[in-house]
């Protein structure tokens, strides 16, 4: 998981930094006061160049470059930080389009945040325009055990007990491979069909069972940018594709902030003093 942190020119003078959550066109500042950011403190807004960055004040003894590098190796700390960051981005997404910042983007001060907004005004504005009236939806496809699997040969055919066992075992392995091939082809077909309705689609690597929380293997982990007006059609299509491909159990999730369709996340201005 990547991170970005600026180096303060004078570490002794810098007590707090600024954790960037995301960029929006405008925001309800009263509502922001109810959204908890890093360390449980309410997030706030930094405006520049017709854009608004939503940030948390971040103590540099925890969120500075060196502490961040250590903390990002601490899975418990990382999970807490990711959950807090994502909760802020979700709150912003409920109000309108948002360009999420990558996890652990920390600036030294509000001035650097404003400079970044000004430097990237054109691309950030274009991204926000592209996301307006659209949402990211996920479609996961899980293998259905036993579906579309050829019947396994019995032990008949002579050759003794050992030969019969090997024959059955070979048939089982062949059936499993064919099942996986059928599921892979079905996942490809589902993705292509969904992309015809969505504005854009992207396939991510299938999640490990420990992450998905589902015992069945995942064959499709797709993300789709869908116009709000086209959502009923998209949802109906997911249902019909599930019927058409019984070897896959399709699951529609969302809407999510459009993480999958933001090619470049907001980062600190300037090349010096970044670590990833």
Same domain, yes or no: 82 and 151: no
Q: And the tokens for 64?
A: 């500075």
Same domain, yes or no: 13 and 98: yes
Eight-state DSSP code of residue 26: -
Q: And the tokens for 210?
A: 């420990």
Domain boundary among 98, 132, 166: 132
**Rounded CA gap, 236 and 227, in Å?**
14
pLDDT digits (tens, 9 = 90+) for 142-180: 998 865 544 444 444 555 656 666 666 665 555 556 656
pLDDT at 152: 41
On whether the CB atoms of residues 103 and 85 are closer than 8 A, the answer is: yes
Regarding predicted confidence, which is higher, 11 or 188?
A: 188
Same domain, yes or no: 122 and 13: yes
Residues 6+ apart with CB under 8 A from 198: 137, 224, 225, 226, 230, 234
Domain of residue 206 covers 134-259
Based on the structure, what is the number of domains in the chain? Answer: 2
3-state secondary structure of 78: helix
pLDDT at 161: 58
DSSP characters over 11-44 = TTT--EEEEEEEEES---HHHHTTSB-GGGPBPE
Same domain, yes or no: 112 and 184: no
| pLDDT exceeds cutoff 60 at 14 | no
pLDDT at 268: 46
pLDDT digits (tens, 9 = 90+) for 211-227: 778 888 899 999 999 99
**Rounded CA gap, 66 and 275, in Å?**
10
On whether the CB atoms of residues 141 and 249 are closer than 8 A, the answer is: yes
pLDDT at 153: 44
Same domain, yes or no: 241 and 185: yes
| pLDDT exceeds cutoff 90 at 12 | no
Same domain, yes or no: 145 and 224: yes
**Rounded CA gap, 97 and 129, in Å?**
8
Q: Please, what is the average pLDDT of the chain?
A: 84
Cis amide prior to 30 (ω within 30 degrees): no
**Rounded CA gap, 88 and 44, in Å?**
11
| pLDDT exceeds cutoff 50 at 275 | no
What is the pLDDT confidence band of residue 132, given thresholds at 50, 70 and 90?
very high
Q: Picking from 10-14, 91-95, 101-105, 256-260, which range would have the lowest pLDDT averaged per residue? A: 10-14
Regarding predicted confidence, which is higher, 122 or 146?
A: 122
Angle at 117 between CA 114 and CA 119, to 5 degrees: 110
pLDDT at 53: 97
Q: And the tokens for 62?
A: 């925890």
pLDDT digits (tens, 9 = 90+) for 73-116: 999 999 999 999 999 999 999 999 999 999 999 999 999 999 99
Which of 21, 100, 8, 101 has the alpha carbon at shortest distance from 57?
A: 21
Same domain, yes or no: 115 and 140: no
Regarding predicted confidence, which is higher, 198 or 69?
A: 198
CATH number of the CATH domain containing 177: 3.30.70
Q: And the tokens for 7?
A: 């180096």
96 found inside a domain: yes
pLDDT at 173: 54
pLDDT at 15: 87
| pLDDT exceeds cutoff 80 at 260 | yes
- Region for residue 137 given its phi and psi (left: phi exceeds 0; alpha: psi -120 to 50; beta: otherwise): beta
**Angle, to 10 degrees, between the axis of helix 121-131 and the axis of helix 110-119?**
80
């Amino acid at each position: 998981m990547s991170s970005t942190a600026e180096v303060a020119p004078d570490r002794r003078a810098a007590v707090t930094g600024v954790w960037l959550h995301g960029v929006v066109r405008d925001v309800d500042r009263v509502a922001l006061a109810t959204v908890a950011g890093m360390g449980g403190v309410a997030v706030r807004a930094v405006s520049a160049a017709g854009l608004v960055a939503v940030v948390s004040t971040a103590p540099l003894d925890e969120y500075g470059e060196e502490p961040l590098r250590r903390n990002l190796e601490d899975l418990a700390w990382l999970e807490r930080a990711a959950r807090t960051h994502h909760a802020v981005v979700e709150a912003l997404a409920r109000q309108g389009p948002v360009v999420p910042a990558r996890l652990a983007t920390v600036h030294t001060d509000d001035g650097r945040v404003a400079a970044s907004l000004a430097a990237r005004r054109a691309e950030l504005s274009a991204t926000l325009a592209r996301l307006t009236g659209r949402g990211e939806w996920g479609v996961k496809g899980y293998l259905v055990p036993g579906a579309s699997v050829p019947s396994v040969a019995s032990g008949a055919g002579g050759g003794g007990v050992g030969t019969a066992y090997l024959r059955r075992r070979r048939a089982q392995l062949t059936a499993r491979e064919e099942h996986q091939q059928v599921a892979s082809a079905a996942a490809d077909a589902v993705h292509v069909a969904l992309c015809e309705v969505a504005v854009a689609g992207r396939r991510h690597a299938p999640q490990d069972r420990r992450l998905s929380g589902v015992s069945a293997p995942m064959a499709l982990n797709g993300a789709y940018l869908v116009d709000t007006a086209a959502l009923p059609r998209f949802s109906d299509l997911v249902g019909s594709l599930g019927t058409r491909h019984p070897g896959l159990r399709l699951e529609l999730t969302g809407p999510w902030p459009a993480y999958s369709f933001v090619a470049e996340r907001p980062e600190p201005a300037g090349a010096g003093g970044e670590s990833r």
